[in-house]
Amino acid sequence: MPDLSGEHLAALRSVIVDKPPYCSGVCPVAPDHFHLFYSTNGDEARRIDMSKATEDEIKLLADVCSPATFGRNNEDILDESYRKAWKLDRSNFGLTFHPLDHDGLVKVLRSELLEGHDEKKPIKAELYKLNIYGPGSFFKAHKDTPRAENMFGSLVVVYPTPHEGGALVLRHGEQEWKFDSGEILGAQGEPRLAYAAFYGDVEHEVAPVESGYRVTLTYNLYFADTADAEPSDASLSVSKTLQETKFREMMQRLLDDPTFLPEGGSLGFGLKYQYPVENGKDKYWDIPAKSVSVAQRCLKGSDAVISKVAQELSLPTSVKVLYLSDDDSWTPTVLQDNFQPIGDWMTEEALQWNLLSDGGGKILQSVHNEEDAEGRDLHDAYLKFPKEKVYWVTDWTEYNKFADPYMTYGNESELAWAYGNLCLIVRVERYGEGNRVAIQAGTSDTGKKTGRGRARGRARGRARKARG
């Protein structure tokens, strides 16, 4: 009998919900929160009320702005064929508005972007720039440049200045969403701020503005240390999401099922979002060193939900590295706890051999259903190494692929590349042990023990007897 059926995997897969990677809405604010303070090039101080700003006032503001740049390979690039807009750095203007002072906005950010994290996990919103998009302005498709490893997204706040066009278009995977601030703000009965917040690895663009002026504030969103958290933010929390509740219920149901991995095993989940892994500089190459610990702290969306629920159920859970096999079908894919310093492995042996003999890796046996449980054939030389059978609930994705250089030696030295990916591995103990020993017997509506409850009771009895 197989360790689990395709039905088990399908049941777990069915409750993994990929919500849109953004949230948006309108935010009512006090009248003085529309005030913007700036100085002219001649250092004349000015104040503009953005709730009723005229086009002439916006043009005067644009006069003190600079052409907007964008980031590419850690450089600021000015190219008006790719981005045409104006910018004002945060040191050159002042506000009375701060997004995390508004409880409603904070709760939306938490419920939509921070699912799977502690309900009171500190966050920080750092003002980055003011941007003006006038008639003909646009910004082609791009992803925001991460400002730090703990940055998880961006918040764009749009002032209620009349404009048509300039919609923010977001894409992730094969899906697309549109946030048309001009249309949204135009439908409000009184001046309000519109906003959109999204994960940092979400591709987005600003469509050409047809008329009017689209004026925005951009904030970088970070996971924060307690000392850096916004004061009003610490007391706000949201209840568990429906997605989290459903995944937990299904996971618990499977753990209670004696036919689900009766001898224990590993479940694999492909990561649905891109994560930072840079951790200092490599000793041998002009590239960053890498560590999965950085990604582990910054999980997002359904990735974070899976990790949180599994850990709450006492299931060991961690981000792992997959070093993929090369074109030779006799070499294995290797599962590692972390990135390996392959830059200083200068041997004639195959990369996989070094990962297994020196790096402590395990040969990955991928299982997607009961039909492929036997795994692939390997060269006899690899049979002595430990293996780990992983049942994939969701396949690994394109978002965290990597290629690391190393030197291989044959008749002469040659530059080679190690290709791989990241994944989330959840380990399940055998039935009746550890996290699969129930704390409390189940009962039916009549108060009698159910079959599941009796099974849990027997498991507890075995555990007590084992403790002696």
Domain boundary among 223, 253, 287: 223
Q: Is there a single domain that holds both residue 219 and residue 123?
A: yes
2 domain residue, yes or no? no
If one compares 241 and 34, the residue with the highest pLDDT of the two is 34
Q: What is the pLDDT at residue 446?
A: 32
Q: Is there a single domain that holds both residue 272 and residue 205?
A: no
For residue 86, what are the domain limits?
20-223
Q: Is there a single domain that holds both residue 84 and residue 191?
A: yes
166 domain residue, yes or no? yes
270 domain residue, yes or no? yes
Domain boundary among 198, 223, 248: 223
Residues of the chain above pLDDT 70, percent: 81
Q: What is the pLDDT at residue 4?
A: 67
103 domain residue, yes or no? yes
Q: Is there a single domain that holds both residue 212 and residue 330?
A: no
Q: What is the pLDDT at residue 405?
A: 74
Q: What is the pLDDT at residue 281?
A: 74
Q: Is there a single domain that holds both residue 267 and residue 216?
A: no
Model confidence at 223: pLDDT above 60: yes
Q: Is there a single domain that holds both residue 96 and residue 212?
A: yes
Q: Is there a single domain that holds both residue 178 and residue 283?
A: no
411 domain residue, yes or no? yes
Q: What is the pLDDT at residue 127?
A: 96
Mean pLDDT, residues 272-287 taken together:
78
Domain holding 45: CATH number? 2.60.120
Band (pLDDT 50/70/90 cuts) for residue 369 is low
Tokens in use for 245? 């509740």
Q: Is there a single domain that holds both residue 404 and residue 307?
A: yes
Q: Is there a single domain that holds both residue 300 and residue 158?
A: no
Q: What is the pLDDT at residue 285?
A: 65
105 domain residue, yes or no? yes
DSSP conformation letters of 42-95: T--EEEEETTS--HHHHHHHHHT-EE--EEETTEEE--TTTEE-EEEEGGGEEE
pTM of the model: 0.83
Domain count along the chain:
2
- Cα dihedral value 272, 276, 279, 284, nearest 10: 80
Q: Is there a single domain that holds both residue 215 and residue 290?
A: no
248 domain residue, yes or no? no
Q: Is there a single domain that holds both residue 152 and residue 204?
A: yes
DSSP conformation letters of 120-188: T--EEEEEEEEEEE-TT-EEEEE-PPPSSTTEEEEEEEE----EEE--EEEEETTEEEEE-HHHHHHT-
Band (pLDDT 50/70/90 cuts) for residue 289 is confident
CB 417 within 8 A of CB 404: yes
451 domain residue, yes or no? no
Domain boundary among 196, 223, 250: 223
How crowded is residue 26: how many other Cβ atoms within 10 Å of its Cβ?
18
Band (pLDDT 50/70/90 cuts) for residue 122 is confident
Q: Which tens digits make up the pLDDT trace of 149-159?
A: 889 999 999 99
Q: Is there a single domain that holds both residue 215 and residue 344?
A: no
